[in-house]
Amino acid sequence: MSGCDTLLAELGLNMERHGELVENLGRTYREKVLSQPDRPASMAYFDSAIHELHGDRIREIFEARAAGRKMIGTFCIYVPEEIVFAAGAIPVALCGGTAWSIPYAEQTFPREICPLVKSTLGLAFSDTCPFAPLEDLAVGETTCDAKKKTWDILGGDGFHVLHLPHKKTDAARRLWLREVRAFAGRVEHLTGVRITARSLGQAARLMNRKRRLLGRLAGFQRSAAPPISGTDALVVMQVALVDEPQRFCGAVARLLEELRRRVRQGVTVARPGAKRVLLAGCPAVAGNYKVHHVIESSGALVVANESCTGSRYFEHPVDARRRTRGGLLAAIADRYFRIDCSCFTPNDERVRSVVRMARRAKADAVVQYVLQYCHTYNMEAVRIAEALQRAGLPSLTIGTDYADQDTGQIRTRVEALIEGLRS
Amino acid sequence: MSPAPRTAIGIDLGSRLTKIVRVEGGRIADALVFDTGHDPLARLPAMLKGLQADAVVATGYGRHLVKGSLPCSAVTEIRACARAARQLAPEAESVIDVGGQDTKAIEVGPRGFGRFEMNDRCAAGTGRFLEVMAAALGYRLEDFGAEALLADRPVQVTSMCTVFAESEVVSLIAKGEGRRRIALGLHVATARRVAAMASRVRLGRRTLFVGGVARNPCMVAALRDELPCDLAAPERPELAVALGAALIGLEEPAAH
């Protein structure tokens, strides 16, 4: 908190609760991220970005809005950021990654929904989310049942829901393209800015640059002697979802430069004999480092992450060579429709992709991360575990929420997985 | 190279009980069991006093606590359990370990262990469940299984949540159901729960049943009925994990 408290209070936040939240997030971050040995110095930017999420970043968005720009809150990586940027608006991912806010959601909503949705609702209903009062439009989508009903609760005029179909048929693609076009119309209406081929092309190139840089980071992560931990790579991903993209790209480029130097000098975060793990499944949004931390503090290394805060976010560029607005919107729709969320049926592409990623990263084992009550990732984990077994890759499925009470049991299972690789 | 250790101590710091086993030439020479309590490390030095060994290996949920307080290595209870199985029942292709707080099923073989399953954060199907139910029925835990075996038939118990099952037991007593029948019903329900979880791994032709709950004769009988394979029940099953840790100590001096 760098002197932004006055602003936060003016935005109507419950400052006492907000103080608790910030203290809680800070403690988690110190214990699970800052405590790691041998971190790259350039991680300082990303540490600060997480720290200033409720500080400088809020001030920045506040000032941008005063200058006429709009802020658009998102809850899923299916929301095409290109469209938001093309209209000069600012997208910010608002998913909750903290156990702290969950009791505020459980006062009203069922306990049997995933911690990500509960944490998000809890932040909204505890008056501690500083983005809520700045938000000009929130964009939901139809990926899962808990989220669909969340939109009914949070919804209203300032809410737009993208209908994401759950089959990969031509009819579904046509529906999705219509949804992407309608979203562009909604954003134009909100901002009063006409989205053109030129602005869309620029936004697509910027987003592609971001994807390319994150892809290179993943390349370092899966190298033979990784110069960066999976936990730090996750922090970078979390910042990607909330930060100003130009500045973010610059910071990632500097980090990559340092990683290149580390590789030349033979600096690695891998301890001798450390086992390599692919983490696959649900996202870990800002505030959530639980499973990454257990794996990496048990002597293994997360060398790849198949999730919405991993490969699903940065794989597949948009074809930015299209010259018309319509052509670019179609290319954007195509790109986002290639994300293999477990909400699709069938979803063979994701099953194959996890096996392929594990092999490419030379993973010794795969840990599937399932947020409690996320039925589609939980069910799909069964098929993926079978496919991994056929491929000769040991795996473990961990279903858990944000609370730390089961960390001991998760640690036992992860350590046993690692021991099994040795024996 | 130092000579291979001849003696080793395994310390299994579990949720309810701490088990210490000293092995000499592959056989149990000493065994100690005491309440883990709220400060297990405080009692450990007194318990270890007079026990000499070339290697010490800690296991159980408190393994890292022990490792932080005395010179030893740490292994998971899953690995220790698998190692013990090779000694106690070499022909077993899996182990089922039911302790105070955890239930585990592990595929085992001559080269170590394969897939494993563990219960989640829930006392259903663990020793803790039986402990609470024994108290609700007014039995001492050590008599609970033997009393249940005296029942002519079980009363069906539908709740597996420790809290709900306790109130179900209270209402069954109020309805005049016999205590032993209720006790048998609780054992059968627990065995079903354990068997369902264990069936997620490949149990093979024979499984080994260890952990404190395997001391309960009714649980052994009920689980035997529920499982599709043979079930071996060793003597002193509560010591198996500590024994496995000690055996690992004999084999891996470098881990010390």
Mutate which: A368, A419, A422, vs B, most B CBs within 10 A: A419
Residue A336 belongs to a domain: no
Confidence of residue A213 (pLDDT cuts 50, 70, 90): very high
For A338-347, write each residue's pLDDT tens digit.
Answer: 999 999 999 9
CA distance A115 to chain B (A): 16
Residue A322 belongs to a domain: no
Confidence of residue A221 (pLDDT cuts 50, 70, 90): very high
CA distance B60 to chain A (A): 9
Of B76, B111, B120, the CB nearest to A419: B76
| pLDDT for position A392 | 96
Determine contact: A324 vs chain B, CB below 8 A: no
Given an 8 Å threshold on Cβ–Cβ distance, is A420 in contact with B79? yes
Q: Count of CB contacts below 8 A, A vs B?
A: 37
| Domain shared by A35 and A85, yes or no | yes
pLDDT higher than threshold 60 for residue B253: no
CA distance B69 to chain A (A): 18
| Domain shared by A215 and A185, yes or no | no
For B126-137, write each residue's pLDDT tens digit.
Answer: 999 999 999 999
Confidence of residue B5 (pLDDT cuts 50, 70, 90): confident
Given an 8 Å threshold on Cβ–Cβ distance, is B112 in contact with A405? no
Q: Which residues of A167-200 are buried (b: 16+ CB within 10 A; e: fewer)?
A: ebeeeebebbbebbbebbebbeebbebebebebb
Chain A CB contacts of B61 below 8 Å: 408-409, 412
pLDDT higher than threshold 70 for residue A297: yes
Given an 8 Å threshold on Cβ–Cβ distance, is A416 in contact with B102? no
Chain A CB contacts of B114 below 8 Å: 420
Q: Which residues of B85-122 are buried (b: 16+ CB within 10 A; e: fewer)?
A: bbbbbeebbbbbbbbbbbbbbbbbeeebbbbbbbbeee
- Mean pLDDT of the B149-174 span: 92
Q: Which of A151, A179, A195 delimits the end of a domain?
A: A195
Determine contact: B83 vs chain A, CB below 8 A: no
Residue A278 belongs to a domain: yes
Chain A CB contacts of B79 below 8 Å: 416, 419-420, 423
CA distance B73 to chain A (A): 13
What's the mean per-residue pLDDT of chain B?
Answer: 93
| Domain shared by A137 and A162, yes or no | yes
Determine contact: B76 vs chain A, CB below 8 A: yes
Given an 8 Å threshold on Cβ–Cβ distance, is A416 in contact with B111? no
Residue A311 belongs to a domain: yes
Of B77, B115, B121, the CB nearest to A405: B121
The dihedral through the CA atoms of A285, A286, A288, A293 has a sign that is: positive
Residue A36 belongs to a domain: yes
Of B76, B113, B114, the CB nearest to A415: B76
Chain B CB contacts of A415 below 8 Å: 76
CA distance B79 to chain A (A): 6
Q: Which of A195, A218, A238 delimits the end of a domain?
A: A195
Euclidean distance between CA atoms B96 and B210, whole angstroms: 6
Give the closest residue to A393 by CA, choosing from A370, A411, A419, A417: A417
Tokens of B77: 């209870």
Confidence of residue B205 (pLDDT cuts 50, 70, 90): very high
The residues of chain B that CATH labels 3.30.420.40 are 1-89+239-256, 91-233
Residue A317 CB coordination number (10 Å) = 17
For B33-67, write each residue's pLDDT tens digit.
Answer: 999 888 888 889 999 999 999 999 999 999 999 99
pLDDT higher than threshold 80 for residue A90: yes
| Domain shared by A81 and A226, yes or no | no
Residue A363, SS3 per DSSP: coil
Domain count within chain A: 2
| Domain shared by A246 and A158, yes or no | no
Q: Within 13 Å and on the Cβ side, how many CA atoms surround A211?
A: 22
Euclidean distance between CA atoms B130 and B186, whole angstroms: 8
Determine contact: A405 vs chain B, CB below 8 A: yes
Peptide bond into A346 cis (omega under 30): yes
| pLDDT for position A2 | 52
Which CATH code for domain B91-233? 3.30.420.40
**Secondary element (H or E) of residue A191:** helix A170-191
Euclidean distance between CA atoms B25 and A135, whole angstroms: 71
pLDDT higher than threshold 70 for residue B2: no
Given an 8 Å threshold on Cβ–Cβ distance, is B79 in contact with A419? yes
Query: Across A27-144, where does the E strand assignment appear?
Result: 71-74, 90-93, 137-141
| pLDDT for position A157 | 87
| Domain shared by A394 and A261, yes or no | yes
Determine contact: A403 vs chain B, CB below 8 A: no
Given an 8 Å threshold on Cβ–Cβ distance, is B102 in contact with A406? no
For A185-207, write each residue's pLDDT tens digit.
Answer: 999 999 999 999 999 999 999 99
| pLDDT for position B122 | 77
Given an 8 Å threshold on Cβ–Cβ distance, is B121 in contact with A409? yes
Given an 8 Å threshold on Cβ–Cβ distance, is B112 in contact with A399? no
The dihedral through the CA atoms of B228, B234, B235, B239 has a sign that is: negative
For A111-159, write each residue's pLDDT tens digit.
Answer: 999 999 999 999 999 999 999 999 999 999 999 999 999 999 888 889 9
Nearest residue in A to B65, CA atom? A408
> pTM for the whole thing?
0.94
Chain B CB contacts of A419 below 8 Å: 75-76, 78-79
| pLDDT for position B256 | 43
Nearest residue in B to A400, CA atom? B120
Nearest residue in B to A389, CA atom? B115
Given an 8 Å threshold on Cβ–Cβ distance, is A423 in contact with B121? no
pLDDT higher than threshold 70 for residue B239: yes
CA distance A110 to chain B (A): 19
| Domain shared by A88 and A221, yes or no | no
pLDDT higher than threshold 50 for residue B255: no
- Mean pLDDT of the A274-289 span: 98
| pLDDT for position B4 | 78
| Domain shared by A206 and A125, yes or no | no
Q: Which of A139, A165, A195 delimits the end of a domain?
A: A195
| Domain shared by A163 and A220, yes or no | no
| Domain shared by A56 and A157, yes or no | yes
3-state helix, strand, coil in chain B (%, to 5): 45, 25, 35
Q: Could you report the predicted ipTM of this complex, rounded to two decimals?
A: 0.90
Euclidean distance between CA atoms A60 and A66, whole angstroms: 10
Residue A413, SS3 per DSSP: helix
For A146-177, write each residue's pLDDT tens digit.
Answer: 999 999 988 888 999 999 999 999 999 999 99
Residues 6+ apart with CB under 8 A from A297: none
CA distance A395 to chain B (A): 8
Residue A328 belongs to a domain: no
Of A394, A408, A416, the CB nearest to B78: A416
pLDDT higher than threshold 90 for residue B110: no
The CA-CA-CA angle for residues B125, B206, B61, to 5°, reads 40
Nearest residue in B to A414, CA atom? B76
Least confident of A42-46, B43-47, B145-149: B43-47
Determine contact: A192 vs chain B, CB below 8 A: no
- Mean pLDDT of the B57-84 span: 95
| Domain shared by A307 and A368, yes or no | yes
Instruction: For residue A206, give its domain range.
Output: 202-316+342-422
Q: Name residues 379-398 of chain A within 8 A of B (Cβ).
A: 394
What's the mean per-residue pLDDT of chain A?
Answer: 96
The CA-CA-CA angle for residues A174, A178, A181, to 5°, reads 140
Residue A418 belongs to a domain: yes
Determine contact: B121 vs chain A, CB below 8 A: yes
Give the closest residue to A20 by CA, choosing from A47, A45, A1, A44: A1
pLDDT higher than threshold 80 for residue B96: yes
For B184-203, write each residue's pLDDT tens digit.
Answer: 999 999 999 999 999 999 99
pLDDT higher than threshold 60 for residue A62: yes
pLDDT higher than threshold 70 for residue A282: yes
Least confident of A256-260, A357-361, B39-43, B93-97: B39-43
**B1-89+239-256: CATH architecture:** 2-Layer Sandwich (3.30)
| Domain shared by A188 and A210, yes or no | no
pLDDT higher than threshold 60 for residue B178: yes
Give the closest residue to B83 by CA, choosing from B236, B205, B197, B242: B242
| pLDDT for position B51 | 93
Helices marked H in chain B: 40-48, 63-69, 77-88, 127-137, 141-149, 162-174, 179-198, 217-226, 240-251
Above pLDDT 70, what percent of chain B?
97
